[in-house]
Structure 1
Amino acid sequence: MIKKTFKWLGALLLLALLGGGAFIAHEWYGDKPVRFKSYVDRTMVKMAFDSPETLTSLGFLESIGIKGHNANLDDASLAKDNELYDMLPQIRQGVAQYADEDLDKSDRMSKEIALYLLDYAAVATQFRFHSYPVNQLFGIQNGFPSFMDAQHQVNTVEDAKNYISRLSQVKRQFSQSLEGLKLREEKGIIPPRFVIDRVLDEMQTFVAQPIDQNILYVSLQDKMIKAEQTAQTNNKSVFSAQEQAQILSQVSTQMQASVHPAYQLFIDYFTSLKAKSTTDDGFWKLPDGDKAYASLLKFFTTTEYTADFIHQTGLTEVARIQGEILTILASEGFDISQGFTPAIDTLKAQPQFYYPDTDEGRAQILADYQTILDEVSAGLNDAFNVRPKAGMKVRRIPEFKEKTAPGAYYQQPAIDGSRPGLFFANLYDIKATPKYSMRTLAYHEGIPGHHFQIAIGMEAEGLPLFRKMSPFTAYTEGWALYAEQVAWELGFQKDPYDNIGRLQAELFRAVRLVVDTGIHHKRWTREQAINYMLANTGMAESDVTSEIERYIVMPGQATSYKVGMMKILEIRAAAKQRLGEQFSLSEFHDVVLTNGAVPLDILARIVDDYVTEKLNNPAK
């Protein structure tokens, strides 16, 4: 019954995607749909409909009253994972069956990008288990509570029952995830000891908390209260006090029957695994770890850059950016004679750059972030013609995971507009983000950074679904880092200290090139990497530690930011040189953003084609 329902829902979605027509059945079931976009979209749709959590995250079915998927969690078994990998050759064959000469320009690019991804996946399949899927930064153990809190909407009793249904499936899903962890153990892919210590501490804290204080309980309680308050403004009721009490009682039952036992499975497993762990932190220690790391660098940078080249580039950029920061500090009267670190330490010690370490101080930080975002949003009209329709809100990272979370992150809006883009700020260490760093962080995660790039890509008309969500980190993170510089160029960081905040953020990404390759290629220890980053960034030790630990469990990802930014600036400079006075910053940004995330060499070609067309048709 469920499979039949999913097929019907898939056909309904495809109907909406294609705009109707008599050939719908062929486009959904045929070996070769008439439209290339139909083929790749239906492939994505079928994969999405196989993942109820993805459907919830995308948020398009709720707008037409379909919510059944919200009662289920994904199948996390190895068998299900194998199904996906077994499908890849078939999908590639389906993409390749469309001849280039039969496709328009947009579809040819979509085909090229699809083949790029599929060919990379085919080569990288040998390294599919080279990962630590449960770690201090992400994984089912903290991803599930975050998912339920941020993405499972509760506006009706049905929504609340679906929430409880998902709680009842947690033990099943954790048991399935354990299969993959044990297989990695057999292959000798075991997380470093500190990772095991971190996740054990996180999970033990989670289960020790009283149920009525747990995020899974409190989140649903808050959502029901807000839904009832909203309903009462229209003289209606969706959750009576009695219904709320009954639902929360069921939450308590499932927490004891499913959720806590699931976490105990992981606690028992990682407790036993700890004896096999070591303090070696780099991928070099794993079987074929050097090859796996080279593969990850290629994926995350979409370049052929070697680890040695990236490392040296990082060292060069660190020296350049530190020099610029010292110049500003000297102009503001700081003593720079002792070098970078003492000068930055003096800057950091100034109390005027920090909020009170209180609940009121943290509330003010969130309010000021929103003010910064509203201000920059209102002042970008000359630099961007295309703006996202989705709104942008600021939230605090959930307290249960903020100790090991990054300084901030962005969560994309729902496709149907029912959920805005969210900028999550880490307020655990009040001194980790001084006031002069806040603008840059808001520009990166929010406007005109991730929110512009991701929301505009999602809203772009005519692009296949996979291009709206392509996982090209060098493009997405490169854009966000580039956006920090654009905001400065447009005058949003006139205060010299705000500019230091911007340069420190760029320095941070340059240091990442050094430490990521240092850990995974040059065999640096965790402590070596922490000491290098502390000495060269001026960041708080709590942030440095969590960042280094992030690079250890996400090899290569940290190199994408600076590589992507440098490439986008290079592409912009080339366009500016060719166009001269005809160069338009807003048009350049539109070209970069409206094609979705792409590999960097393809982005260069997109911009080059735009420049050529503009030179040939200057009136356009």
Structure 2
Amino acid sequence: MKSIKLALVASGVMFALSGCMNTGLSTNTNTSAQLNTVNASAGIVSELSAEQQLDVLVAQYYDESLTYSPISATYNGRNEFNDQFTPEISKENRAKKAAFYKKYQQRLNFIDKAQLTGQSLLSFEILERDLALKLEGMQFPDYLLPINQMAGAHNTFAGFGSGQSAQPFNTVEDYTAFISRSEGFVKWLASVERSMAQGIKLGITLPKPLAEKLQPQFAAHVVKNAEDSLFWGPIKKLPESFSAQQKQKTTAQYRQLIMQHLVPAYKSMSDFLANQYIPNSRESVGYSDLPNGKAWYEYQIKKNTTLSLSADEIHDIGLSEVSRILSEMKKVKETVGFKGELSEFFDHLRDSDEFYYDTPEELIAAYENVKKKIDARLPLLFNIAPKAPYVVKAVEAYRAQSAAGASYASPAPDGSRPGIFYINAYNLKAQPKFLLETLSIHEAAPGHHFQIALQQEIEGLPDFRKFGGYTVFAEGWALYAESLGKELGLFTDPYMWYGRLSDEQLRAMRLVLDTGFHAKGWTRQQGIDYMLTNSSMAKSDVIAEVERYIAWPGQALSYKLGQFKIQELRDFSKKQLGDKFDIKAFHTQILIDGALPMPILEEKIKRWVKSQS
């Protein structure tokens, strides 16, 4: 909302919008006229511009969307949702969500796009595209595959309940809110079990290796004593401000919550997976083997990349990139004087202790040192930076075995929590020293931390964009950021440069494997063999990566394709502007409006280039 005045007219305008929806008007001109007519006798503004109409609509859209995603609300600082959980999986709730999307699609059509410019135009185009895509996706039964070994609301809930995530535990009301949220979780988890059982009947299940990795995540929470539960964490840290009576009552409530509600819910799911789901899970791995799987995967490509590319095109791009990067790796092998084939060099990098740390503490300390070096050099290429800091932290033990090697968690919008660059220290042989610089650039600065924290700090950006995003933009930017390493004065050590190539190779192989699994009938073992042949990655890391691509079709395509598009836009801008091209200004243009679908980003950059010419 741009002003107090605009906030005052919000409810009146939404009433007007609803009224217009029922008039059957067919032109934007007539509809806009009706929308601009607000009850003057009520002492409210008589006319609203198209921009004001849109501001009201997107604010209403975001607020209503949080009822479907209370978890996101908590992450985004909307604490009034802290007592709620993801709605149960049901036909009724899917229908409600579809009606929600259609309602805002209709309302958006009432606004005259031709009158919009700048951020308003971007917001219109983004929401228009997003709503159409969400409705298109509802034809596919993803509710039959609601969780996997990589992700799911069950893991988010455990993080919240541990007291080490975004769920606050500062007041009695906070503790009570989590008890209420837990009731929603138990209901949701029961609906997950029902949906997955339905999936068995319809032949839509997780591949067996994924289901086998998922089951221990639930079994881990089946404890005999409440004190042994992850959810006892907040009780261990009861605030000093609580009275003795409040501490006693809260402790008793949490003991009952854990032993009478959470443990039985987790045991039920664990038993279901072990006794029913895993024995009936499928042997194949790709979406192409599912009913209507080809179309389903094509949708996943479009959703994750925002680009119109076929699986065959992407597969060929990946093969070409893997070959190119292998040639670069051979040059590094020769530079460091290694005698032997590239495959032997890979084995040397995998097996030699000199490339790995002995303890998790040494690993984290090394990343903290690299952080200081990179942060000092960022002004060379950037004239903007987020206000929020970030910290380096080891992945929590309860999720380390299945978690990615590194990840990033955004800071709290109110500044109460910094961004977190997570390093997985579960397997030190999966964390080579030569990845220090490139991984830090990617996950922290100027990669994910720069992009995501800046997005949250952009003044006036609608909440649905401030807290939204696109994998292809976020991951494309982070991989593009890696390519800036030499310009930042990094990668001077040949092994560190190899680390950059290794990381880029990982993303190139993803193009091959993702499309291989889901469009070309590749097996899990084919994927493992391909990655081991074309990289120096640890086998445990390779297996985790392969199973990730199987679980998240299309997601892994976003990195390389997003990087390609941003680099393409940089090359275009430089060619068009010549001596006027300023790399800092270009980076500001990429980041200053938050995450955008690639086609919308391209049009925006072209408008910017034209304005600079």
TM-score by length of 1: 0.88
The Cα offsets for residues 443-477 of structure 1, whole Å up to 9 and x where unpaired, read as 11111111111111121123222222344211111
Q: Give the structure 2 partner of residue 7 of structure 1.
A: none
User: Any conservation in 2 of the 1:170–1:258 contact (CA below 8 Å)?
Assistant: no
Report what 1:330 is aligned to: 334
1:71 aligns with 2:91: no
Shift of 1:568: 0.8
- Aligned-pair distance for 1:211? 3.4
User: Given the alignment, which residue of 409, 412, 415 partners 2:413?
Assistant: 415
Whole-angstrom CA distance in 1 between matches of 2:136 and 2:64: 24
Q: CA, structure 1 residues 447+19, in 2 after alignment: closer, same or farther (shift >3 Å)?
A: farther
1:295 aligns with 2:286: no
Instruction: Report SS of the residue matched to 2:338.
Output: coil
Partner of 1:87: 100
Which amino acid letter does the alignment assign opposite residue 354 of structure 1?
Y
The one-letter code sitting in structure 2 at the alignment partner of 1:341 is S
> Which residue pairs with 2:347 in the alignment?
345
- Structure 2: gaps spanning 5 or more residues: 18-34, 37-47
How many residues align? The count is 577
Match 1:56 to one of 69, 74, 77: 74
Map of 1:372 onto structure 2: 370
Distance 1:502 1:181 in 2: 40
Aligned ranges 1:450-599 → 2 under 5 Å: 450-599=448-597
**Post-superposition CA distance 1:347-379 (Å, at most 9, x none):** 3333222111xxxx2123223323322332232
Matched position secondary structure for 1:520: helix
Is 2:144–2:195's contact at 8 Å kept on the other side of the alignment?
Answer: no
Displacement of 1:222: 5.3
User: Does structure 2 conserve the Cα–Cα contact (< 8 Å) formed by 1:473 and 1:560?
Assistant: yes
8 Å CA contact 1:188–1:286 kept in 2: the answer is: yes
Deviation at 1:88? 1.5
Distance verdict in 2 for CA 1:221–1:326, change over 3 Å = farther
2:446 corresponds to = 448
C-alpha distance in 2, partners of 1:223/1:534?
Answer: 45
**Does the 8 A contact of 2:179 with 2:257 survive in 1?**
yes
Residues 209-257 of structure 1 show CA distances to partners (whole Å, capped at 9, x for unaligned) of: 7532332212x14543xxx5xxxxxxxx414677556534432221111
The reply to whether residue 286 of structure 1 matches residue 276 of structure 2 is no
Q: Which stretch shows the higher mean deviation, 489-498 or 429-438?
A: 489-498
CA distance in 1 between partners of 2:541 and 2:135 (Å): 36
> 1:132 touches 1:553 (CA, 8 Å); kept in 2?
no
Match of 1:256 in 2: 259
2:11 paired residue among 22, 25, 40? 25
Structure-2 residue corresponding to 1:107? 120
User: Is the contact made by 2:409 and 2:421 (CA closer than 8 Å) also made in structure 1?
Assistant: yes
| Contact map agreement 2:476 2:563 (CA 8 A) in 1 | yes
Cα distance per residue 1:359-413 (max 9 Å; x no partner): xx21232233233223322321131112111121222222122111111111122
Contact in 1 for aligned 2:221/2:230 (Cα 8 Å): no
Aligned to 1:170: 185
Does the 8 A contact of 2:70 with 2:82 survive in 1?
Answer: yes
- Paired residues of 1:469 and 1:596 also in contact (CA < 8 A): no
Do 2:511 and 2:557's aligned partners in 1 also have CA atoms closer than 8 Å? yes
Distance in structure 2 (CA, Å) of the matches to 1:377 and 1:123 = 42
Confirm or deny: 8 A CA contact 2:216 2:270 kept in the other structure: no
**Cα distance in structure 1, aligned partners of 2:14 and 2:168:** 30
1:398 and 2:396 are equivalent in the alignment: yes
Pair 1:295–1:585, CA change in 2 (3 A) = same
The residue number in structure 2 matching 1:8 is none
Q: Cα gap change, 1:76/1:168 in structure 2, threshold over 3 Å: closer, same or farther?
A: closer
Are the equivalent residues in 2 in contact too, given 1:129–1:184 (CA < 8 A)? no
Q: Determine helix, strand or coil for the equivalent of 1:126.
A: coil
> In the alignment, which of 139, 150, 157 is matched to residue 144 of structure 1?
157
- C-alpha separation between the residues in 2 aligned to 1:604 and 1:169? 42
**Which structure 1 residue ranges, 5 or more long, are not aligned?**
1-13, 62-66, 229-236, 616-620
Task: Give the conservation status (yes or no) of the 8 Å contact 1:140–1:174.
Answer: no
Q: SS at the partner of 1:206?
A: coil
Letter of the 1:464 partner, please give it.
P
Q: Do the aligned partners of residues 399 and 18 (structure 1) sit closer, same or farther apart at CA in structure 2, a change above 3 Å counting?
A: farther
Instruction: From the superposition, tell whether residues 190 and 505 of structure 1 become closer, same or farther in structure 2 (CA, over 3 Å).
Output: same
Q: Following the alignment from structure 2 to structure 1, what is the Cα–Cα distance between the partners of residues 124 and 295?
A: 28
1:194 aligns with 2:194: no
**Separation in 2 of the partners of 1:285 and 1:266?**
26
Q: Which deviates the most, 589-598 or 394-403?
A: 394-403
Hey, what's the Cα distance between the residues in 1 that align with 2:4 and 2:532? 53
| SS of residue paired to 1:387 | coil
C-alpha distance in 2 between matches for 1:264 and 1:196: 16
Separation in 2, partners of 1:140, 1:53: 8
TM-score when scaled to structure 2?
Answer: 0.89
Give, in whole Å, the separation in 1 of the partners of 2:367 and 2:253. 37
Residues 1:111 and 1:212: Cα distance change in structure 2 (over 3 Å):
same
Partner Cα separation in structure 1 for residue 120 and residue 6 of structure 2: 20
Match of 1:318 among 315, 322, 328: 322
